[in-house]
Amino acid sequence: MDKYLERLKNGTLKLYALEKEVPAPEAIRIRRAFIEEEAGVQLPKLGSFTMDPTNAVKRNIENMVGAVQVPVGVAGPLKVKGEYADGFYYVPLATTEGALVASVNRGCGAVTRSGGAEVRILRNGMTRAPVFSTRDILHSRAVKDFIDGNRDTLAAAAAETTSHGELTGAMAFVTGTTVHVRLEFDTKDAMGMNMVTIASERIADLIEEKTGAHLVALSGNLCTDKKPAAVNGILGRGKSVVAGVRIPDGLVSEIFKTDPATLAEVNYRKNLLGSARAGSLGFNAHAANVIAAVFIACGQDPAHVVEGSGTFTTVEKQEGGVYVAVTIPALQLGTVGGGTGLDTQRECLSILGVAGGGTPPGAQAKKFAEIVAAAVLAGELSLLGALGAGHLARAHRALGRGKPGGGSQSPGGRGK
């Protein structure tokens, strides 16, 4: 090890090049030792992990020095009545926030005892939006006309780059001498950003060739990826999913210690009016909490929680109960590729029965999306109930601030 450390120190060996000289486990050990010396710290726990480092450094990480562990809990059983997910599920949630799992677990109980969450996928399409410059507005119009009139040609170009993805839509947005082309793809069981980026590059080359427009950037931010954006709420991105459940009056009282009218009022004044006054692009209680916890557990890109936070939660008082629904316009996830191949993340996907590709292709990712939407519904329902009953602070005291190894396990609410 010493000779490698010396070379790292004198600059004749770069951190990123270690795997070219030694196997991945040794490269990680050397790199961690170098950082320990540079930072003047010891990192024994960071170097203790169970995942296959050889696989990780090839697909998921650069300059690896170790792994961070996040506690994983389960909430459930959660009954889901979707087109792809139909049954009872225990949902893995990776989080460091006390009370979150307990809150979602309480919501799962309410959903399941009410007969289950009905879930449907409304749209399916991952997007990338190259941006072009043109000579003048007449040229911009000509580019738009080419996009509108040659969808089959664009789809054929995309098909040259992938046997899995499929172009399903293309929309041109003109702003003076700037043209954004929002391309939408069915990526089957993959979340698909790499797939659509490569396919979009081929399409962009074709647009340049046929129209004379200049490609400025392969991503022009009208995708919109990993940023809050109204376009995702309107057109959708990834999976657009809706989940709902009817909770009888008696269960609202028994489980949440409140009533349907109060649930509806809390949702109206907090999630709807409060979000509107704040200028929020999401009208929900804490949808991002649940999405983030599932994503981290199951090897998804946690940055896509930004789009998932644009969830809309609705609560309607009905005869004999209350109907609660969540609409998630932009839920980006997959069951193959990315972090789904890491050992512990794949095990969490296996808990849900969604690890790997599906038959037909795309079925696994859609099943996963339906389960996530149902879990978000459970989380929203539980927090609204906690707020309606005035239990939020009590739950934080019991589960969020207890001494290590102590604290009550009562199912309180959670959220911001």
Q: Which of 26, 97, 316, 347 is catalytic?
A: 97
What DSSP assignment string belongs to 99-157? THHHHHHHHHHHHHHTT-EEEEEEEEEEEE--EEE-SSHHHHHHHHHHHHH-HHHHHHH
CA distance 83 to 351: 19
Amino acid, res. 17: A
Could you tell me the two tokens for 112? 């399941």
Is-contact 93 72, C-beta < 8 A? yes
Q: How many CB atoms lie within 10 A of CB 149?
A: 9
Q: Which of 249, 301, 316, 347 is catalytic?
A: 301
Could you tell me the two tokens for 341? 């191949």
What DSSP assignment string belongs to 367-414? HHHHHHHHHHHHHHHHHHHHHHHT-HHHHIIIIISPPTT---------
CA distance 52 to 55: 6
Non-local (6+) Cβ contacts of 20 within 8 A are: none
Non-local (6+) Cβ contacts of 401 within 8 A are: 98
97 as an active site residue: the answer is yes
Amino acid, res. 143: V
Is-contact 94 207, C-beta < 8 A? no
| Ramachandran class of 2: left when φ > 0, alpha when ψ lies in -120 to 50, beta otherwise | alpha
301 as an active site residue: the answer is yes
Q: Which of 180, 304, 391, 396 is catalytic?
A: 396
Rounded to a whole number of angstroms, the distance between the first and last alpha carbons of the chain is 48
370 as an active site residue: the answer is no
**Active site residue ranges:** 97, 301, 396
